Each structure stands twice: as C-alpha cells, then as structure tokens.
Structure 1
Amino acid sequence: MNRHTFINSRKATMMKFRTALIMTALFTLTASAARAGLPENYLKRWDDPAVQKRIDDGIEKNRKSNAMLTIVDAAGKPISGAEVKITQTSQDFLFGCNIFVLGQMKEKEQAYEDSFLKLFNFATAALYWDDLEPADGKTRFAEGSEFIWRRPPPDRVVAFGKKHGLTLKGHPLVWHNGAHNPKWMPRDPDVLYERYIRRFKEIAERYRDDIPIWDGVNESLVCSKDFPLYSGEDRTYQPYVPWAFKEEQKLFRPENLIMINDVTTFNWPSNEKNRYYQQCDRLLKNNIPIEGIGFQFHFFSRKSLDGFMNGDRCDPNTLLDTYEMFAKFGLPLWITEITIGSAGEDGLAIQERITRDIYRLWFSAPKMAGITWWNLGDGTAYGNEGQAGGGLADEDFNPKPAYKALDKLINHEWKTKLNLKSAADGLVKFRGFHGKYEIQVTAGGKTKTFDVNVSAGGPTQTTLKMP
C-alpha cells in the first residue's frame, strides 16, 4: 500500500468512526429525550415488550381489515401484472379536538384553522346552556350573535365542518354544573324539566341533520347536590339521566348517536366495582337508549400528571382491561376530552411521550371509535385549566413535540400506502386501516383511478374494471 492509499484509507476509517459516534450520540439523545423526566414507575410499565405487543396486536386486529381487489379488462378477463398504487385518503376512526375558539383568534385564526385541519377529522362544538341561551328565550345559534370567548355560534361551526368534511359532536345537552348553566335556570324541578324539553327541541330541530353525535348527559356520576334534579345519594341512578336520554331520543334522528360522558376517575378500576360500569349496565338493562360511552382524561396541573406517572393508574394493562370490560356492552367507546400538559421541568418531552403512548393504547382498544384532545393551543383553555400547558401547540399555534408525534401517527403510521402488482388471476390482496382509498391501476398503457372503502367487519372484495 502506497502512502497516498494509506492516507485515504485512514481518512475513510476516521470518517466511518465519526459517523458511528454521531449516530450513537443521536440515538442516545433521542432515547434520553423520550425518557426525560419520566419516572421509572412509568417507564417500567410502558416499555414492557409484552405491553407493546398487546397494543400492536390490538391495532392490527381492531383498526385494520383485509381487502381483495380483482383487476379485469373491459371484457371482464383478469389482468396479470397490473401496477396498483394504493393510497388511503381518509380514516373512519375519528381524531378530534374541541373547536371552541373558531373565528376568535384574530391574526392567529389561519394558523389555528390550519393546525386543526392538519390533524383532525372530528370537532366538538360548544352548546353549553349558559352561553347558548344567556337570557331566557334568547339563543346564540346564529353567526353575528354576541361575542363570548370560547363559545362561537354553533352555526359557524356547522358551516366550517361542512366546508372541510368534519364530523361534529354537540357538547353537552344536560350537565349539572352550575357554572355552565344559565343564571335564570329554574330551580323548580318540574319547570326545569319543561325548559330542558324546550332546549332539546330547539337544538334538535336546528342541528340534528348536521351534528350526528351528542353528549346527552355529562358527568352525572359527580352530580352536585345543588342541581335541582339531583335526587339522593345514589349517583349511579339519578332519575334525570334516563329521563334525558328518553326525551332526547324522541327529538333527534334515529341515525344520531347520543352518548353518556363522565370524568377521568372512571377510567379505573378495571372491574365491575367501577361505578361508571355499574351505571351503564343499569341503564342498558332498563332499556335506556345510551348509544355510546365517553371517558374524559384530564390532568389540569403538573402535580396531577406527576401523580398519574408515579402511581398505579398509569398502568397500560389496567387501562386496556377497563376499555375491554366496557366494550362488552357492544357500544362505541370514546375518549372525549384530553388534557396532558407540558408545564414544568421536561414538560414538552413528557407530554410528547405520554401522548404517543396513550394514543396508541386507545387506538388499539376494541370498540374505540374516536379520541378528542381538548384545547389545541395554549391560552385557549377554560379558567385555571390553562396552567397545565395542555395545548398541542403554543399560543401562536407553533406545534409542540406532542403535536408532531400525533401527526406522525395519524397522518403516516396509521394510513395505508402501498404499491403492488396483480397476480395471474388479477387479484391484489392487502390489509389496510379502515377508511377511504384511492386505487390507481395501470395496465396495458392505460391508467384509471377507483375509490374503494375498507371497512370494519371486512374483508372488502371489489372488482376494478379497466377500460
């Protein structure tokens, strides 16, 4: 080996060594960032290979189906070797957020809307009674109504949803919370029942064709004693709950889904001592028409999030056991409100890691139909709930790491994109996430595009006829 060759060889070796060092450093940095600030209690449970396999298997089983496409020519004969480009264009699963500041962000409005539409196909509209009807008989349905922060007129939300193909949910029809009921609300139970029927009727007539999903009763298991319809200590069977579902069912469309929703506490325990499970079981056995079950998942401070990470409640197996138990009712399950904050030391990294972990878990659970983050950007939360820094974006709607993690999951990992060729019998087989697909077929110098749905309960079997 001459001197020139030796020097070049040594340079190449040093370059490889430096590259290896850089890659090792990057891997260590990435792993460190993913674990930053997370207690060993959390990491031990979530990094367990058996847990990750359970989640992966659940996603494969519950969120995907087989599809079989037969490519034929104009005479109906199978085409062998056709090039088939498979692109998923939308998802059946609903990924959402509340849309409480639509049209209220001034110079940040476009950034807000762009951030929303990039991630979400599902939006929760605010129909809180106090702000929807601040004076008896005077409603704020229409565009041009009096401005109230975090309460855009529902007509505006409906128009935005139609324009962008969003599925909408109305929240809530009945809620005991005095802070969100009008000051004029009657205290006499009989009169209040009458007013509720008027409220249901007005909302149903205006929105039942445009808002398909509704929170029929909200947080009844923590009903306050000063609510005029509160009755006794047995919160698992407050009489106003079955009454509300029966009355709502009369006024909304059969295709509307009217669900029950309750607080974070009832994600646990994963056995029949769970009071929410007991309530749903009792309602269904009494033929009360609840059509979905919603779970909130709020941690409104760093202290409460630390408690979650350091305690037994962060255990993924327990959470999955809970959702599998509720799935036995045969109703769609929903994660309806999520706050996972970024406040405090290592807050952004903690929010990113927990968000990715918990979304994967929810996406894997049987009967799960949708997941809704609560406040998209910092500075848009209610009252002191903002102290958690629970936005997926900052106050200017710049994406946080958690937003980017969800973008990777929702828009990349959980969308199917394949390039295949048809077999001798014209058959193309694949397994894909549920949703709408664009299938581009090229054969014999001709290209044609087809629309195909891959749905739960498959397999999908479709014949695609080329010109």
Structure 2
Amino acid sequence: MSRQPVAIALTLLVGMFAAGIVRAGIPAEFRKLWDDPAVTARIEQDTEQHRKADAVIHVVDAQGQPIRDAKVRAEQQTHEFLFGCNLFVLGQLDTPELNAKYEKAFTRIFNFATIPFYWGDLEPEQGKPRFEEGAAYIWRRPPPDRLLQWCQANGITAKGHALLYAKNMFMPEWTVRDDPIAFMEQARKHMAELAERYGDRIAVWDVINEEIPRVAHLDQWHAVPDDYSLQCFREANRLFPNDVKLLINDGASQTHVTTDLCEANVKKLLDAGLRVDGIGIQFHTYGNSFVNGKVYPPKQLLSTYDRLGQLGPMLYITEITIPGTGEDGPEQQAAAVANLCRLWFSTPKMAGVTWWNLGDGTAYGNENNALGGLVDKNMDPKPAYAALDRLINHEWKTNAKGATAADGTFAFRGFKGAYRLTVDALGKTQHFAIHVTDGGKPQKIVCDGPQR
C-alpha cells in the first residue's frame, strides 16, 4: 500500500473517533469519560473563548481612503499556541533518509522544541562543555548549538531543559554531591554560563526539574540547601532577560494527584517576589491505566488546571508519553492524543504542550518499551501523528474570506496566530502579513493602485 492511502486511512480513523462512531479498540470506560456531554461542551466553549480572537482589517488606498468591496482572504499560517516535542535526536538517526523524515515530521506539526541541557552529558569533563557542532557524540544529546541553529532556520521556538536538574544519574561525576554550599557555587557558575551563551536566544527554560520527587528521594540527588528552589529562581531572575519565560517543572502524579505540593512550591517562589512565568506539568503514562479510564479522567484534569491556573503563571504540558503497545495500541494512542490535546488546547491558562519523543526507539532506556512515539521507528506516521496533524493543521486553523464594508473594514474571528492576507482591490492582488491575538487593534492595510 502506498503512503497516501495509509495517510488517508489514518485521517479517517481519527475523524471517526472525533465524530463519536463506535471504536472497537477503545475501552468503554474511556469513551464514557471523554464523551461526557459536560466535558465536551466545556472543551468546545473554552476553545472558542480562549484560543480565538477577533480581528478587524481596515483596507485603505494610498491616500488613506477606505476601499469598499475589496475581496479579502485570511489564511492562517502559524499558531500562537506552542505545539512541541523534544529535539533530542536531530541528526542522530542511522541514515540521511531517516534524519530527513524526522525533520519533515517535526516541522509539519510542531513550532516548539525542547533542547537538552542535562549537565552530565553537556559537560562530562569539567571546563569542556559540549556546546558546539563537532562535540563528541552522545546519543540523545546533540550539541545545543546545532539544535538552536536548526530551530532558528525553521521558525521554531526553543526551550532549554533544564538549567538545573541535580539528580545524580544526570549529573557529571566531578560535581560535589554531599556539600550543598560547594555544589551551589558550581551550580551558579553553570547557570551563568548558560545564560551568557543562550540568554537572548532560547525563549523558555525549565529552571528546576522534579522538585517534589527530589524532596521525596534525597538519596538519589545531590545535596542542596533547604532553599534550593529559591536560590535557583533568584539566579535565573538575575541572569535572564524579562522576556525569557522561566518555568518550574514537575512530574505527572506530583501535579495532578498531590497538587497541593505543586501549588505550595509555586507559591513559595511567588511569595518571595520571584518571577515564575510558567508551571511545567509532565504527562508520562507507561501502562494502560490511562486509556482504561483508571487515572487522570478529564474532569480531574480540568479541575487541576483550573486550580493551578489561579496561581498566576501560565501552564505548560512539558513531557508527554502515551503508550502505543498491543494490538489496539495505535488506535488507543490516537484516541488518547486527540482527546487530551483537545482538553489541553482549551485550557484557559495553557501556553503549550510538548510531546516527549517523536519516534519509536528514540526514548530513554526502557521507556522505549511503551512505543510512545508519534511516528514509528522508520519515521512513518502512526495514527496518533495523524490525529495531531488533523487538529493542528486543519481543525484549529482559520481560513476566512469576504468583502470589505463601506468603511473599508473586514472582520473575522479566528485562531490566534500569524495569517497571510490576500486583498483584491484597485485592480491588483496584494499580500500582507497580520497577527491575530487577544486585544488586537484594527489593522490598517494600505493597497497600492491608481488614484480614485
């Protein structure tokens, strides 16, 4: 079978799921939870309210006079919302063909990429960080400069993960493990080096990672001061420009189940007067409990995000793994992806979502057993990829057309993002770029043409 029929089949599968047609491989309890009219109504309502904005275009001639009956077409090009994935294996697959397919699959649906800054692999030898192209090969750890250059070339927003993740297994052998004061001296120097090199080029950073598990498993982490999180955010606040988003990132159960602990950690930082721009929320599920409706039902997710959203910082789903194992695994994964992303996209304070591994076989260690990629080991799309593609590039993109009124205005409501505007007026077809976002003012479009 050619790839085109496969792609059509995958799109039809996702469309059938969204339309509510019976899905044999999807557990009944999952369908019951996610097809709940109260849940679907809220998702639709919040998507319309929070992901769209009103746009007004004012078309005038060179003398500033309004042009009536100009034909206008607005076609959305990009999203304001961040749809992302980690970029950990860019250029590291076995063949040029696989690397090219990886890049094509990435750029088709994602505008956001997570770059790895695990200290142990970034600077295994003290004083010799692996920033630049040509650095020694480490699987899933390409040099950050390569990844950032690729992001810039493809119009993708970059995120650094993480400024400090002091879990022993991800740290260099040469850092101090049992002296909090000495370690923080090393940590401050490390953060300063990252800020100096990337401070104005990487838009988002996880400042610290998995703080709740750290406190619960101190033996697995470097010894740090009691005010570790405060010290880290204080340094990040000092080192990075105000337009760089600073996140505190934590695990799935820590944010969705022990939400009070997550809330307390964020409040501690805010109460100290520190800038916290985002709350990072992991969503790794490695068994079948989610698709069987046993954990993270939609009403719990909505309630959790409502609660965390009241703290002030934006929310980010930072690491997503949904398994695709078993005979029905691909179909179940696609169903989970479609439903979760609809909910996340609708959440008022949500700024972005990040898949953790694009391809099967590119995850960390035995996490590969989950087959959690959106594409298979050959970098060919799975049903889950088709589900995301359908949402991001079709259902959640606006194309509007019409004619200007007597005052030269054309108004529409569309998903937030960048648009290509085509205007037929004064005997010419002209193209313009506009951005649709909250609170946008009427945008004046000046068309060239003969004086009237």
State the TM-score, normalizing by the size of structure 2: 0.91
Alignment map for 1:178-217 (pairs within 5 Å): 178-187=168-177, 188-217=179-208
Cα distance in 2, alignment partners of residues 350 and 252 from structure 1: 41
Q: Does 1:274 align with 2:267?
A: no
* Aligned counterpart in structure 1 of residue 51 of structure 2, from 63, 67, 90: 63
Q: Match for residue 292 of structure 2? A: 310
Q: Where does the alignment leave 5 or more consecutive residues of structure 1 unmatched?
A: 1-25, 232-237
Q: Match for residue 229 of structure 1? A: 223
Q: Match for residue 442 of structure 2? A: 461
Q: Secondary structure at the match of 2:325?
A: coil
Q: Where does the alignment leave 5 or more consecutive residues of structure 2 unmatched?
A: 1-11
Q: How many Å apart are 1:114 and its aligned residue?
A: 0.8
Cα distance in 2, alignment partners of residues 77 and 431 from structure 1: 25
Q: How many Å apart are 1:74 and its aligned residue?
A: 2.8
Q: Match for residue 292 of structure 1? A: 278
Cα distance in 2, alignment partners of residues 104 and 434 from structure 1: 34
Cα distance in 2, alignment partners of residues 62 and 443 from structure 1: 33
1:297-348 deviation digits (Å, cap 9, x = unpaired) = 0012xxx2x2223345332122111111111122111000000011113000
* Aligned counterpart in structure 2 of residue 175 of structure 1, from 161, 165, 180: 165
Cα distance in 2, alignment partners of residues 57 and 178 from structure 1: 45
Q: How many Å apart are 1:267 and its aligned residue?
A: 3.9
Question: Number of residues paired by the alignment?
Answer: 428
Alignment map for 1:31-46 (pairs within 5 Å): 35-46=23-34
Contact 1:453–1:460 (CA under 8 A) maintained in structure 2? no
Alignment map for 1:90-101 (pairs within 5 Å): 90-101=78-89
Q: Match for residue 351 of structure 2? A: 369
Q: Letter of the aligned partner of 2:61 in structure 1?
A: D
* More displaced stretch, 120-129 vs 441-450: 441-450
Q: Letter of the aligned partner of 1:285 in structure 2?
A: D
Q: How many Å apart are 1:354 and its aligned residue?
A: 0.6
Q: Secondary structure at the match of 2:158?
A: strand
Alignment map for 1:64-463 (pairs within 5 Å): 64-107=52-95, 108-187=98-177, 188-223=179-214, 224-226=217-219, 227-230=221-224, 238-269=226-257, 274-300=260-286, 304=287, 306-311=288-293, 313-456=295-438, 458-463=439-444
Cα distance in 1, alignment partners of residues 192 and 440 from structure 2: 41
Q: How many Å apart are 1:416 and its aligned residue?
A: 1.1
* More displaced stretch, 395-404 vs 41-50: 41-50
Contact 1:63–1:363 (CA under 8 A) maintained in structure 2? yes
Residues 243 and 360 (structure 1 numbering): CA distance in 2 closer, same or farther, change over 3 Å? same
Q: Letter of the aligned partner of 2:31 in structure 1?
A: L
* Aligned-CA RMSD value: 1.9
Contact 1:268–1:313 (CA under 8 A) maintained in structure 2? no
Cα distance in 2, alignment partners of residues 384 and 398 from structure 1: 21
Q: Letter of the aligned partner of 1:195 in structure 2?
A: Q
Q: How many Å apart are 1:405 and its aligned residue?
A: 0.9
Cα distance in 2, alignment partners of residues 36 and 287 from structure 1: 52
Q: Match for residue 234 of structure 1? A: none
1:411-439 deviation digits (Å, cap 9, x = unpaired) = 11111111211122222110011111111
Q: How many Å apart are 1:350 and its aligned residue?
A: 0.2
Contact 1:440–1:450 (CA under 8 A) maintained in structure 2? yes
Cα distance in 1, alignment partners of residues 324 and 181 from structure 2: 45
Contact 1:34–1:353 (CA under 8 A) maintained in structure 2? no
Q: Secondary structure at the match of 1:195?
A: helix
Cα distance in 2, alignment partners of residues 55 and 266 from structure 1: 24
Contact 1:294–1:336 (CA under 8 A) maintained in structure 2? yes
Larger radius of gyration: 1
1:159-183 deviation digits (Å, cap 9, x = unpaired) = 1111111110110111132111112
